[in-house]
Structure 1
């Protein structure tokens, strides 16, 4: 899982140091698609902020919400914690029983 420091490091390397997504992925040892996801997310939020501020010239709640989303730690939706121990134990016992029967 990626934390806020890594997310910031990705964005700094891409926008300030002009590193490619592939180079960042190699250096940080993350998937290039993960790097692209955070960069695209940041760019889309910057565009939305630009549109909101150019429309009325005033910072409103939507703009502030987007800025706070940009600086929050990454969210992982749809991930389920799975305990592999019980599944492994069940399969191991079945294999052991079949081996005992074969002997």
Structure 2
């Protein structure tokens, strides 16, 4: 019997990646007839939903198909997002931002990964709710962003970060002093074992020496 997780995989590989039924069957480990069955079911429900509401969230369909049937009592209260769940989702999104900055784009969690992580932590929440919440958070962040205008050599931002590297076969966490030009987004980074005052000063000394000058303004978080 096919598991709910495999149903989800089939539909997401079809919707998100656009893979053929043959490739999906090979990746998931089921026959093509089963893959075709769930894709047809998804497409049929999607077309019906969109014919009734063009702005409908098709993510609801995926959840409806892959979840086990739920028997609800009449007048049951709709489950609300708790502050704890919102906090956990926000933490996952912040981790994604850090991974982008470190160039680890393949490790960025998609909505389905965040949903699975929440369920593994014991939270009861649907995939569609997680998806809508993520979209709302990302939209709010974009709306709050105001792009500034800078002149060359005017402003440079400094911040500490952490990077994990394999050194002599052992994973080691190093502190990364990062400089970013506000005008060109040019970046320079230096690695240290600690975030000490001496390291802070040495990083600035090295940076100004390497670029052959100084910025008019340094910005610190």
- TM bucket (normalised to shorter chain) is 0.5 to 0.7
Q: What is residue 12 of structure 2 aligned with on the other side?
A: 12
Q: What is residue 68 of structure 2 aligned with on the other side?
A: 73
Residue pair 1:10, 1:35 contacting (<8 A) in 2 also: yes
**What are the residue-to-residue correspondences of 1:1-103 with 2, within 5 Å?**
1-53=1-53, 67=61, 69-73=64-68
How many residues are aligned here? Answer: 65
Aligned mates of 2:33, 2:16 — CA distance in 1: 20
Aligned mates of 1:32, 1:21 — CA distance in 2: 6
Structure 1 residue 38: deviation in Å?
0.1
TM-score when normalising by structure 2: 0.26
Aligned mates of 1:73, 1:42 — CA distance in 2: 15
Which 5+ residue runs of structure 1 have no aligned equivalent? 60-65, 75-103
Which 5+ residue runs of structure 2 have no aligned equivalent? 70-221
TM-score when normalising by structure 1: 0.53
RMSD of aligned Cα (Å): 2.5
* Local SS of the residue matching 1:16: helix
Aligned mates of 1:34, 1:72 — CA distance in 2: 17
Greater strand proportion: 2
Select the structure of larger CA radius of gyration.
Answer: 2
Structure 1 residue 53: deviation in Å?
2.1
Superposition misfits of 4+ residues, deviation over 4 angstroms: none
Greater helix proportion: 1
